[in-house]
Amino acid sequence: MQPPSVSSVATPAAADPDATPAATDPAAAPLRLSVARDGKGDDLQRLVGVGPKLAALLQQLGFWHFDQIAAWTPEQVAWVDSRLGTFRGRISRDDRIGQTRRLVAG
């Protein structure tokens, strides 16, 4: 099954009173991929707090690899977080950046 393209990703509602400027700024978006590099993404479920639903959502948003997540800036975290629906806030609470940086470092 072909994964959804990055262009099919939903954007946050403009009326969201909690949305930061970075969350609605397309320039704040981190590097996204329409498919995993070499046809195989990292097992995002290795991250604490990431199950099948969140892993699928991250892939739908264009995030397939730990190094993509490890490189997020605070503005990029806000952009991604605004698109996570019920998983909003988990990036910081679960230290996703720290987890992925440790996995990338080995």
Task: Assign 3-state DSSP to the chain and report helix, strand, coil percentages, each to 5.
Answer: 55, 0, 45
Total number of residues shown for the chain = 106
Tokens of 68: 């993509």
Q: Residues 2-22: pLDDT tens digits?
A: 444 443 344 444 435 455 666
Given a cut of 90, is residue 63 above it in pLDDT? yes
SS3 for 82? coil
* Residue ranges covered by each domain of the chain: 61-106
Q: Which helix (H) or strand (E) holds 56?
A: helix 52-61
Q: Residues 18-39: pLDDT tens digits?
A: 556 667 777 889 999 999 999 9
Q: How confident is the model at residue 79 (pLDDT cuts 50, 70, 90)?
A: very high
CB neighbours of residue 40 within 10 Å:
10
